[in-house]
Amino acid sequence: MNQQAKVEHLFRHEYGKIVALLLRRLGLQHLDAIEDAVQWSMAQALEVWCRESTPHSPSAWLYQVAHNHLHSQLRATQRQNVLLTEHLYTAQDETFEHEEASFAGEMSDAMLRMLFIACNDAMPVESQLVFTLKSLCGFSIKEIALRLFISQANVYKRFGRAKQQLKNQTLELDMLTDDEMLCRMPSVHRVLYLLFTEGYLSSHTDNAIRQDLCEEAIRLTKSLANSRFGNVPNSYALLALMYFHLARINTRQDELGALLLLEQQDRSLWNKQHITVAMAYLAQSADGHTISRYHVEAGIAAEHCLSPSFEQTPWQKVVSSYELLHSIAPSPLHYLNHAIAVAQWKNPEAGLAVLKSIDGPDWLYRSFHWYAVQSDLLFRSGDTVNGREYATLAIEAAPTDSIKQLLHKRLIGR
């Protein structure tokens, strides 16, 4: 059983590290060949490990096999490239002299550098996300499509764009200076945040599928926070935010998979251990002079997690946090959360007044979020006629069936 626990996600987690280390040693232009070789080494592992046993250091085994395979592949196609072959020979010698611990350290360092290379604002954030999922988290195109609710063709397109971009740039993993890494830090945080929310907000009925994106995001953010260059307050704020949300992830749906609102969730089921971990990260994130959106969002999540009931939530604090959040990272959706919190703190009319004062973009006024909040506050203020009208609009505009059901239950079935 122990042995089995040890290999849980072994292949997927090693995948990104081995790909990154080979990319670091051979250069980004070999991305395709490297991904094929790592895939091949895992197919070999499946055969050999089943017949013999799991090797003492699975990652060194996989690296070696991928490396040798790549060697023979590249030698066959690029005989003229002497430099490359030399590279491979030195890489091979190095590996065997390496202590296991420093090998592991080098692998995660390579993986993080890869993440910084991928978080390049010259490519769309969707492509950054897909590249991270494919090459660093080891998900297949099919698995990414399933998790992001987009077509496989779309995943291919985004991945292709990322690869093209990476091949066109002349930057290699070791060429990123500390300053450049610092400049890219916000993009790295954003991709990790996106990775987490894609999992957290997903309406996938399979719990495991929702959770594994969140776990991937946490795994990468942790190794970022543990690294020399990623050890910054914002990384800890992001981890705090992730753990506060993770504590509630299993109570967001009922046993039939229908979404549950915050006030309907069974607070006794919230994971206390995760909340404790989140609090510790939040404390660690306060070690600086700047405050980021992640700090504020973690703060709001903390208020919810620590409140014994929905009614006892310190709404006034939540309201001022949303005001702060809006001044740091303006987003029309923060207005809506702000309006909801004001309605809880004061009364529904005050919430409606906030909605009226909003000067948002056009898409906001056509989004189901807007309709739903309007409808809810109108009903609660006693205006059932307009409330019902907005409810119909909200249900029509909702993107998935589970959201439609939730809105129906909340707005029509009241």
Partner 1 sequence: MTDKTYMCILRSGTGGCEKPSPSEMELQYAKYQAWQQKFTNNILDMGNKLGAAGSVVRHDSVNDGPFIELKEIIGGYMMLTAATLDEAIAVIQASPMVANEGTSIEIREVCTR
- Over 201-221, what HEC string results? CCCCCCHHHHHHHHHHHHHHH
212/376 with CB nearer partner 1: 212
Pattern 191-230, binding to partner 1, x per CB under 8 A?
Answer: ----------------------------------------
Task: Work out which of 33, 49, 310, 346 binds partner 1, going by CB under 8 A.
Answer: 49
Question: What distances in angstroms separate CA 258 from CA 329, 387, 388, 396, 401, one per listed residue?
Answer: 31, 23, 22, 18, 9
> CA torsion 80→81→83→89, rounded to 10°?
-90
Burial of residue 414 (number of CB atoms within 10 Å: 0-12, 13-18, 19+): exposed
Between CA 271 and CA 345 the distance in angstroms is: 26
**Size, binding site for partner 1 by CB under 8 A:** 25
Tokens standing for 232?
Answer: 């910054």
- Using the contact rule CB under 8 A, the part of the chain among 4-12, 104-112, 226-234, 300-308 near partner 1 is 4-12
Task: Using the CB atoms, write b or e for 297-322: b if 16+ within 10 Å.
Answer: bbbbbbbbbebeeeeebebeebbebb
Question: Quick one: which of 126, 115, 112 has its CA closest to 162?
Answer: 126
143: contact with partner 1 by CB under 8 A? yes
Pattern 384-413, binding to partner 1, x per CB under 8 A?
Answer: ------------------------------
- Using the contact rule CB under 8 A, the part of the chain among 37-45, 269-277, 327-335, 381-389 near partner 1 is 37-45
43: contact with partner 1 by CB under 8 A? yes
42/191 with CB nearer partner 1: 42
Pattern 7-36, binding to partner 1, x per CB under 8 A?
Answer: xxxxxx-xx---------------------
> CA torsion 384→389→395→397, rounded to 10°?
-140
- Using the contact rule CB under 8 A, the part of the chain among 79-87, 96-104, 139-147, 365-373 near partner 1 is 139-147
Minimum CB separation of residue 213 from partner 1 in Å reads: 12
The residue ranges that bind partner 1 (CB under 8 A) are: 3-4, 7-12, 14-15, 39, 42-43, 45-47, 49-52, 138-140, 142-143
